[in-house]
A = this chain, B = another copy of it.
Amino acid sequence: MLAAAVRLFNERGYEATGMEALSRALGITKSAIYHHVDSKEDLLRLAADRALDGLFEAADEALAREGRAIDRLEFLVERSVLVLADRLPFVTLLLRVRGNTEVERRALERRRAFDHLVADLMERAAAEGDLQAGLDPTVGARLLFGMVNSLIEWYRPGGDLDAAALAALVRRTAFDGLRARPAGR
């Protein structure tokens, strides 16, 4: 039921979709929905957490690794793309949240905590001399996840490009650039 509700929110907009429309589209009564959740906000909370829990698990794994910050960042990006591909409708809904209700504000707060964590890793990478000279770590984190998050606009699982290939591609493009490397690297 959650997946169907999220699909509908993504198609019609979360705010524009009421419980009435939800019950019609899902083909179940409103009381059947209320048997599972207390409100529309509850559905949003469950959906946002599905996305955010995945991202934070990826971050925990990245932080638990040994080695240089830049390598842990690369790992985190690759894992984040896998989460995005695997939970695409949930991440899509999360990224469109604007913050008008308590549930939305909480989701935005968790998103910001994730962004801070990325910026912190970026800062460490800069301190270790592994980041492009002159790049502010916060700006770097934004450009990096700007590229990752833009995948929701066009990536559709089941096509020619599987999630693992996509994740490797985004990682390589973000850290090594679009340009072909001169021989030797």
Interface of A toward B, CB cutoff 8 Å = 70, 129-136, 139-140, 142-147, 149-151, 153-154, 161, 169-170, 172-182, 185
Measured in the bound complex, the distance between the Cα atoms of B178 and A151 in whole Å is 19
Chain B residues whose C-beta falls within 8 Å of the C-beta of A140 in the assembled complex: 173, 178
Task: Determine if B176 and A132 form an interchain contact, defined as CB atoms under 8 angstroms apart.
Answer: yes
Knowing A147-B147, A147-B150, A150-B149, the reply to whether A179 touches B142 (Cβ < 8 A) is no
A138 to chain B, nearest CB (A): 9
Q: How far is the CA of A104 from the CA of B146 in the complex (A)?
A: 24
- Structural contact, B144 and A146, CB atoms closer than 8 A: no
- Set of chain B residues within 8 Å of A180, measured between Cβ atoms: 129-133
The interface centre, meaning the residue of A134, A136, A143, A175 with most chain B CB atoms within 10 A of its CB, is: A143
- Min C-beta distance of A185 to chain B, whole Å: 7
Chain B residues with CB under 8 Å of A177's CB are 132, 173-177
Q: What are 22 A-B contacts with C-beta separation under 8 Å?
A: A70-B178, A70-B179, A130-B179, A130-B180, A131-B179, A132-B178, A132-B179, A134-B169, A135-B169, A140-B178, A142-B154, A143-B147, A143-B170, A144-B178, A146-B147, A146-B151, A146-B153, A149-B150, A174-B177, A176-B176, A176-B177, A182-B185
